[in-house]
């Protein structure tokens, strides 16, 4: 039995992945932004081991979630599923001065990766939209570019793959992978989304717990349990190191080296 932690899992793909993983006999810890949403998560998955609580748009919320997770021990797998977007009308900053889409979609997975006891498997949620992202650290906080919510989301999902691959390089003993779930009808995806909802959650569950040799790799990106080539820039070690340095500068948290 594996112990799996899933961020942003009070509803949507994270909750669905939790349901799939629990049905397969594993222990699932969910994560919600506040106590009310934690109660919703518990009601939706009554057998879950625990629900960590914290708004991961803020650094204090990220730290609080990492502390709660660490108090529960070391997880076998962590699924970095939390996400917002993809069409915010205006640029918004968190109380820490970080552009909000970047804070939730990129900085939160970075900080949780760095602060949580290291799992054997790490799974990062990207999107097919990452292919339209800009692989440049010239203006990751959208301070000089004219705001475009869809592009900011696409950038954040590109950074999620860059982060997964950076972690794979940094921690070769772990399995760190990314995936595209398809465009599926969650609150984010919208009721008219064309792809299969369950299929959208299966790959994150599979990467987290399956013994299938195809899932036991590192530094890869997937779509529906098959490898799918990501934007080529995600393989660039300089871009990976640049993202880690940017996240470290924003958060004051450094990704530990392999020990």
Ligand X SMILES: NC(=O)c1ccc[n+]([C@@H]2O[C@H](COP(=O)([O-])OP(=O)(O)OC[C@H]3O[C@@H](n4cnc5c(N)ncnc54)[C@H](OP(=O)(O)O)[C@@H]3O)[C@@H](O)[C@H]2O)c1
Site for ligand X in 16-35 (CB under 6 A): 33
What are the Cα distances from residue 137, in Å, to 126, 170, 179, 229, 238? 18, 20, 22, 22, 11
| Separation of alpha carbons 196 and 240, rounded Å | 32
| Closest CB to ligand X among residues 154, 239 | 154
Q: What DSSP designation does 68 have? A: H
| Closest CB to ligand X among residues 193, 248 | 193
Closest CA to 124 of 17, 248, 251: 17
Prior bond of 79 cis (ω within 30°): no
Active site residue 153: yes
| Closest CB to ligand X among residues 128, 241 | 128
Give the helix ranges, DSSP H, for the chain.
12-23, 35-44, 59-71, 100-102, 108-115, 149-170, 197-209, 237-251
Site for ligand X in 169-228 (CB under 6 A): 181, 183-184, 186-189, 193
| Closest CB to ligand X among residues 30, 209 | 30
Residue 24: count of CB within 10 angstroms of its CB: 16
Catalytic residue among 86, 110, 124, 153: 153
Site for ligand X in 103-132 (CB under 6 A): 104, 125, 127
Interface size with ligand X, residues (CB under 6 A) = 27
- Residue 133 in the binding site for ligand X (CB under 6 A): no
Closest CA to 73 of 117, 29, 115, 112: 117
**CB-CB contact of 204 with 247 (8 Å):** no
Residue from 50, 72, 84, 217 in contact with ligand X (CB under 6 A): 84
Active site residue 226: no
Q: Which residues are known catalytic residues? A: 153, 157
Which residues form the interface with ligand X (CB under 6 A)? Answer: 8-14, 33, 37, 55-57, 81-84, 104, 125, 127, 181, 183-184, 186-189, 193
């Amino acid at each position: 039995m594996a112990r799996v932690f899933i961020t942003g899992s009070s509803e949507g793909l994270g909750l669905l992945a939790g349901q799939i993983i629990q049905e397969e006999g594993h222990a699932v810890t969910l994560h919600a932004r506040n106590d009310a949403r934690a109660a919703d998560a518990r009601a939706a998955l009554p057998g879950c081991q625990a629900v960590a609580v914290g708004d991961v748009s803020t650094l204090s919320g990220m730290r609080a979630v990492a502390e709660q997770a660490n108090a529960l021990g070391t997880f076998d797998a962590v699924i970095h599923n939390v996400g917002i977007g993809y069409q915010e009308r205006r640029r918004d900053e968190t109380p820490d001065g970080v552009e909000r889409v970047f804070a939730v979609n990129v900085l939160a997975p970075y900080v949780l990766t760095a602060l949580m006891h290291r799992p054997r498997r790490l799974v990062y949620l990207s999107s097919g939209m990452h292919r339209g992202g800009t692989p440049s650290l010239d203006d990751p906080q959208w301070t000089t570019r004219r705001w475009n919510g869809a592009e900011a989301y696409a950038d954040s999902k590109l950074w999620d793959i860059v982060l997964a691959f950076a972690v794979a390089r940094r921690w070769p003993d772990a399995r760190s992978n990314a995936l595209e779930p398809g465009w599926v009808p969650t609150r984010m995806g919208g009721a008219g989304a064309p792809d299969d909802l369950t299929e959208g959650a299966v790959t994150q569950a599979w990467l987290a717990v399956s013994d299938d040799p195809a899932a036991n790799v590192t530094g890869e990106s997937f779509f529906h349990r098959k490898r799918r080539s990501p934007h080529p820039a995600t393989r660039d070690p300089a871009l990976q190191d640049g993202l880690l340095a940017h996240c470290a500068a924003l958060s004051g948290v450094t990704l530990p080296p392999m020990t």
